[in-house]
Amino acid sequence: MGKNKLKRFAENATFEHVFQPTFDEISKDLFALKGKWAGFFGNQNPITLELACGRGEYSVGLAELYPERNFVGMDVKGARLWHGALTAQEKNWKHVAFVRQHIGQLHRLFTLQDQIDQVWIVFPDPQLRDSKAMKRLTSPRFLSTYRRCMKPSTLIHLKTDSPELFEYSLQVVQEQNLNILHQFRDVHAAWPNHPELGIRTFYESMWLEQGRRIHYLCFELGTEPIG
């Protein structure tokens, strides 16, 4: 393991806004902030969650735009989310937190009482092999996980350079009869001045330089389909 990773892991452990639940906390459903995130943030403001946040660029970008909201970035890679955590630390932001954990454990970290009302999934691994379809973060499996701790009106935002993931996600949403608010196969051409969609991650900037189009889908989480 490289020295930089070790340094970042050690620094994460010193940040009061970075949480790394232990195996026991997750397996025994003992995470202290579950259902109590308002106590950590010191307010009842809604939470915007960034899943597979990587370097936390969207969490940081949104936090800059909306200081009245609360933001939580979640990723299993501690050395990655360190970037966003460090930015929040340097800016002394009290409305941003990060959690190092698998997304499949989301329901052990949050409840409906935590008021997650938006989720951003930004350039996730598209898991293009058919055998890995259920690992896509917009798959029926993950939508069911989200519903365990989010209300039906929660907005799900997907940004991706993968047309395959976009079309798959759109199909899932349509099959579940979910309410679609926006769908663009070239979001920067269709909505060039939108402040939230204008946030550029490292990978998005790279894809745009290569001439790739950025796809965007926004829909309501809805309820579990019957049957």
Task: Return the CATH number at 31.
Answer: 3.40.50.150
Judged against a pLDDT cut of 70, whether residue 192 lies above it is answered with yes
- pLDDT value of position 1: 53
Residue 225 within any structural domain of the chain: no
Residue 27 within any structural domain of the chain: yes
pLDDT classification of 226: cutoffs 50, 70, 90: confident
Judged against a pLDDT cut of 80, whether residue 78 lies above it is answered with yes
Residue 61 within any structural domain of the chain: yes
Judged against a pLDDT cut of 60, whether residue 57 lies above it is answered with yes
- pLDDT value of position 221: 98
- pLDDT value of position 149: 97
Residue 226 within any structural domain of the chain: no
Residue 89 within any structural domain of the chain: yes
Q: Hey, what's the torsion of the CAs at 189, 171, 61, 51, to 10 degrees?
A: -160
Residue 160 within any structural domain of the chain: yes
- pLDDT value of position 218: 98
Mean pLDDT confidence for 72-80: 94
Judged against a pLDDT cut of 60, whether residue 193 lies above it is answered with yes
Number of domains into which the chain is organized? 1
- % of the chain surpassing 70 pLDDT: 98
Flag the least confident range among 2-11, 16-25, 149-158, 177-186.
Answer: 2-11
Q: Structural domain of residue 94, as residue ranges? A: 3-220
DSSP character string of the chain = --HHHHHHHHHHTT-TTEE---HHHHHTT--TTTT-HHHHHTS---EEEEET-TTTHHHHHHHHH-TTSEEEEEES-HHHHHHHHHHHHHTT-SSEEEEES-GGGGGGT--GGG-EEEEEEES-----SGGGGGGSTTSHHHHHHHHTTS-TT-EEEEEES-HHHHHHHHHHHHHTTPPEEEEESSHHHHSTT-TTTT---HHHHHHHHTT---EEEEEE---PPP-
4 C-beta neighbours (distance < 10 Å), count: 10
- Residues marked as catalytic: 125
- pLDDT value of position 2: 63
At 118-155, the pLDDT tens digits run 999 999 999 999 999 999 999 999 999 999 999 999 99
- pLDDT value of position 4: 82
Q: Find the angle CA(86)-CA(61)-CA(122) to the nearest 5 degrees.
A: 100
- pLDDT value of position 37: 98
